[in-house]
Amino acid sequence: MIVIQQTLLCGFLKKAQYVRLHPVLNKLTRTLQTAFLFVVCVITQHAFALTLDLKQAIDYAMENNLLLKTSLLDKNVRVHELRILKQKFAPKFSLNLALSVQNEDYFHEDFNEKKIHSYPSMKMLSPMGTQIEIFSEQNVGSEKGQHSMGNALRVVIEQPLLKGRKKIVNTWSIENATLQNEIESLLLKQMVEQTLYQVILTYHALELALENITLQKRWVTNSARFHENLQTKVSSGRAPKSDLSSSLLQVRQAQGQLMQANFEYNQAMRKFKELIGITEEFSIIPHQKRHLTSYPEESAAMRQAIVDNDIELRILNLNKKRIKKQLEVLKDQQLIDIRLRGDWTTGRYHIYGLNSNDLTWNDSTNFNYPFIHQNGNYSAHLLVNIPLSGRQERYHPVFAAKMELEKIELAACQHQQALLEYINGLLEQRSLKKEQINLSVESVTLAAQNYENAVLKLEAGRTSLFEVMQLREHLQDAELKCNMAKIAYLDLQTQLELNAGLLEKKWLTT
């Protein structure tokens, strides 16, 4: 049953690889493939080998890595906060209602009042600091049993003349949130690229661990065959018995190295599963066509690409821009606060007393005449606030912002110098890794030739079997070092792609 399921799964994966679809459909297809494999494994309750290429591993990590999921949730919150802040200059409406029952005794008058008051209002702030407030007052009720009503519209305008009249002062909260959002977006981009980088490195480590296991198994087989052949020679009297201990030691050493290779593979597998977000028990086999391609030799172009893509330098520049704008806002707060305020009212409101034609305005003993506000009431105010103390306390935020700006400029200068040295080091390592690959490949070729020559000599009786196994061990070491050199070059190539900003374009946009 399991063999049939594995055959079907392999056929499904192979067929899907030859279908050319839209990139979004391809990504969806790969996700469905992985999900289908998981479902079948749960149903059968048997673990099987899951073959993943590097592209599939990266796609799965982008959807299931816990750190990326958390960062995306935080990004949604920041975008929502910025959307709210951008509504700062939109009109704001409110409706206040009040129901009052009042009974008071006045001179020569028994006054009772039952009314409903409503105060619809609208407030608005302009980028230049102008505050506009419009509200209406609606009164409906009865006074001494007589129905009465009144309504009025009032407009209040306040304009700062010195402090708070610049656009940057009033839009600072929005611009600061926008810059912070850009910084967080860069950090998220950096996290995505770092995750890609870690997936590729762990995938390479998994490949190297598997290749080491294959080589160590081959060495265990060869050393065991050599020990068996030596036992045959000892039993026939063609070799001394003391040679058995040396060959047995070689077998035990090969077995120990195989155990170490299996342990390193399990460690690499555990780290790989944790990184891409797989929690199920699967035996994953990496499957990737290795391309030892190199970058063009134009070091100047590569150096410029790394400088342009450097996330930390871009964040420092954004922080510098943010502190400069904050400094303008803080300097504005040091000015004298002078405001011009005015209001204008139209309509009648606050009705008091009976509106009777029998009453006269000149009767000083009668308090029942109506108290009505007429149209066109207005007022104008000039408000001045001059602080006479606390100058150092008010200046401290400006001083702190200047020091922070100077620190950022020093950090940017130092980071640029360190970045150039880092780039030079990477380019020198690239040349070194290329030479190491060439030397390791040549070493494997020479070790293989020496081993083949020793085998021919052994057949002719011109050398010993022990020397042949030593040369085979040298070939084994050369092959291990060659694999390590290739993986080290791939890791360095990935590091260059990371710093040049090519990983996301290479793996997530294709």
Residue scoring higher pLDDT (243 or 143): 243
Between residues 147 and 389, the one the model is more confident about = 389
| Class of residue 108 by CB neighbours under 10 A (exposed 0-12, middle 13-18, buried 19+) | exposed
- Contact of 56 with 285, CB cutoff 8 Å: no
pLDDT of 469 reads: 79
Asked whether residue 200 falls in the same domain as residue 77, the answer is yes
Residues 215 and 309 in one domain: yes
Considering the domain architecture, whether residues 443 and 500 belong to the same structural domain is answered as yes
Mean pLDDT of 142-166: 83
Q: Which two tokens stand for residue 238?
A: 């063609």
Residue 39 lies in a domain: no
204 and 303 both lie in a single domain: yes
| % of the chain beyond a pLDDT of 90 | 37
> Which of 96-100, 421-425, 502-506 has the least mean pLDDT?
96-100
* Per-residue pLDDT at 298: 63
The answer to the question of residue 241 being in a domain is yes
More confident site: 503 or 32: 503
Residue 131 has a pLDDT of 94
Three-state DSSP at 499 gives: helix
The verdict on 65 and 197 lying in the same domain is yes
Within-domain flag for 210: yes
Is the pLDDT assigned to residue 89 strictly greater than 50?
A: yes
* Residue 211 sits in the same domain as residue 274: yes
User: What's the domain range around 461?
Assistant: 47-82+176-292+299-318+409-507
278 — pLDDT class (breaks 50, 70, 90): confident
Residues 244 and 361 in one domain: no
pTM equals 0.72
Indicate which CATH number applies to the domain containing 418: 1.20.1600.10
| Residue 108: per-residue pLDDT | 57
188 and 248 share a domain?
Answer: yes
What's residue 51's pLDDT?
A: 79
Please tell me the least confidently modeled range out of 57-66, 190-199, 396-405, 453-462. Answer: 453-462
Band the pLDDT of 350: cuts 50, 70, 90: low
- Rounded average pLDDT over 274-301: 69
Give percent above pLDDT 70 in the chain: 78
Could you tell me how far CA 430 lies from the centroid of its own chain?
29
pLDDT at 24 over 70: no
The stretch 116-135 carries a mean pLDDT of 89
pLDDT at 191 over 80: yes
Average pLDDT over residues 121-130: 92
Q: Is the pLDDT of residue 510 over 70?
A: no
One domain, residues 307 and 421: yes
Mean pLDDT of 354-376: 51
- 442 shares a domain with 373: no
Q: Residue range 138-164: average pLDDT?
A: 81
Sorting pLDDT into bands at 50, 70 and 90, what band is 412? very high
- Give pLDDT, residue 112: 62
Q: Tokens 């009431």 appear where?
A: 377
> 363 Cβ partners below 8 Å, 6+ apart?
369
pLDDT digits (tens, 9 = 90+) for 428-486: 998 899 899 999 999 999 999 998 998 888 777 788 777 887 888 899 899 999 999 98
Model confidence band, residue 56 (pLDDT cutoffs 50, 70, 90): confident
**C-alpha–C-alpha distance, residues 231 and 252, integer Å:** 16
Who has greater pLDDT, 39 or 195? 195
* pLDDT (0 to 100) of residue 150: 74
Task: Give the pair of three-digit tokens for residue 332.
Answer: 């504005």
Mean pLDDT computed over every residue of the chain: 80
Do 219 and 183 reside in the same domain of the chain?
Answer: yes
Q: Which residues lie across from 343 on neighbouring strands?
A: 156, 379
Q: What's the confidence (pLDDT) of residue 134?
A: 92
Euclidean distance between CA atoms 40 and 6, whole angstroms: 9
Site of tokens 């702030």: 125
Residue closest to 441 by CA, chosen among 486, 492, 487, 490? 486
pLDDT of 152 reads 84
> pLDDT tens digits for 305-335?
899 999 999 999 999 999 999 999 999 989 9
